[in-house]
């Protein structure tokens, strides 16, 4: 069995947890980045997918995520608040550009690199998903459907959380966070891959806590993020995809909220905790996989003896 295709969901800070799981599983030999042919991802998953495709050492990625002072990089000032009225979001393309700039510079890659150019460089097909707001349809972004757009712009298209990250608008279309109605793009991977044993997916199972509510003291941004988060969960629960995926890691996930976004932004300890949670989930996945393998071998041996 060789894993050749990854499916990574959105979920805000939960993307860091996915990173921890993927890190442990590759270090354990379950998958190898050099075997990967395609990655299907939405929103925060798209951010992780790009990091994987750049093929940096895990220690470098983890240190960057955990140790960098993200609250200083992405601070919000009064000018941004006023400009958000016309930009349709507090942050714009510069959010994505600032995140990846050190990685692209280390690889001597231009920040303007297109989807097609990145595929030719990495050999990995990136399949990102965005909601085109005017038609309210999911759009698949890859090097064939959008060969000439900057690969970093494709990430903004997939993770443009309403009011927080500005949408990408061109040719009469407006692209926002694909996680709103397609947070886990597993069915698209199934459509393009013949052998399901070559697919590994990570799926969020959302924890329905009573404190995941909008209250009187909630702000407008709290309200918007909560609304988007509930749409994501509703879309996941209403999914009609019923195929069995042999290699799928499921873990509990918190609803995305402005509060947990801010906590992850400000605290390296919380970010490290998310990575550790992902590692723990990966350890349990491998343990269950080994138990299943032993059970199957025992059944086969019994059948042979009979």
Identify which has the larger pLDDT, 83 or 151.
151
**pLDDT digits over 141-162, tens only?**
999 999 999 999 999 999 998 8
The pLDDT assigned to 257 comes to 76
Neighbours of 40 (CB within 10 A): 30
Which pTM value belongs to this model? Answer: 0.89
**Distance in angstroms (rounded) separating the CA atoms of residues 253 and 304:** 43
Cα 79 to Cα 70, 72, 75, 84, 90: the distances in Å are 19, 16, 11, 8, 9
5-8 and 38-42 as β-strands: parallel, antiparallel, unpaired?
Answer: parallel
**If you ran DSSP here, which 8-state letter would residue 247 be given?**
S
**pLDDT digits over 104-120, tens only?**
999 999 999 999 999 99
**Distance in angstroms (rounded) separating the CA atoms of residues 164 and 221:** 8
**pLDDT digits over 39-66, tens only?**
999 999 999 999 999 999 999 999 999 9
The pLDDT assigned to 48 comes to 97
Q: Which residues pair with 114 in a beta bridge?
A: 150
The pLDDT assigned to 299 comes to 44
**Distance in angstroms (rounded) separating the CA atoms of residues 74 and 253:** 24
| Chain-centre distance for alpha carbon 261 | 14
**pLDDT digits over 208-254, tens only?**
665 566 677 677 777 777 777 777 666 665 555 667 889 999 998 88
Residue linked to tokens 């790009």? 50
Q: How many residues does the chain have?
A: 306
What is the Cα gyration radius of the chain? Answer: 20
Cite the DSSP H helix spans in 9-92.
14-27, 44-53, 58-67, 70-73, 78-87
Does domain 5-206+214-305 bear CATH number 3.40.1090.10?
yes
The pLDDT assigned to 292 comes to 66
**Contacts by 95-103, CB closer than 8 A, 24 or more apart:** 95/156, 95/165, 96/152, 96/153, 96/155, 96/156, 97/152, 98/73, 98/74, 99/47, 99/73, 100/50, 100/152, 102/64, 103/51, 103/54, 103/56, 103/64
Residue linked to tokens 């299907």? 40
């Amino acid at each position: 069995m060789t894993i050749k295709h990854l499916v990574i969901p959105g979920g805000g800070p939960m993307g860091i947890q996915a990173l921890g799981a993927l890190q442990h599983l590759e270090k354990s030999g379950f998958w190898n980045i050099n075997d990967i042919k395609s990655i299907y991802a939405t929103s925060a998953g798209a951010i992780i997918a790009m990091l994987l495709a750049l093929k940096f050492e895990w220690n470098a990625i983890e240190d960057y995520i955990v140790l960098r002072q993200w609250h200083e990089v992405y601070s919000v000032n009064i000018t941004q608040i006023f400009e958000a009225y016309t930009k349709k979001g507090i942050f714009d393309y510069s959010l994505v550009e600032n995140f990846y700039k050190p990685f692209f510079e280390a690889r001597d890659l231009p920040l303007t690199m297109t989807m097609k150019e990145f595929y030719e460089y990495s050999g990995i097909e990136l399949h990102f998903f965005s909601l085109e707001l005017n038609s309210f349809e999911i759009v698949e972004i890859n090097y064939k459907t959008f060969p000439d757009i900057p690969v970093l712009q494709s990430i903004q298209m997939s993770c443009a959380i309403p009011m927080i990250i500005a949408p990408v608008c061109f040719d009469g279309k407006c692209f926002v966070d694909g996680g709103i109605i397609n947070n886990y793009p597993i069915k698209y991977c199934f459509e393009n891959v013949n052998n399901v044993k070559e697919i590994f997916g990570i799926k969020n199972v959302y924890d329905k806590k009573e404190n995941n509510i909008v209250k009187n003291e909630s702000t407008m941004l709290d309200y918007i993020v909560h609304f988007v988060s509930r749409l994501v969960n509703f879309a996941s629960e209403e999914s009609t995809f019923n195929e069995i995926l042999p290699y799928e890691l499921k873990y509990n996930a918190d609803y995305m909220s402005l509060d947990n976004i801010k906590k992850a932004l400000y605290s390296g300890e919380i970010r490290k905790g998310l990575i550790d949670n992902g590692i723990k989930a990966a350890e349990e996945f491998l343990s269950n996989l080994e138990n299943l393998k032993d059970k199957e071998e025992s059944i086969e041996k019994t059948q042979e003896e009979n």
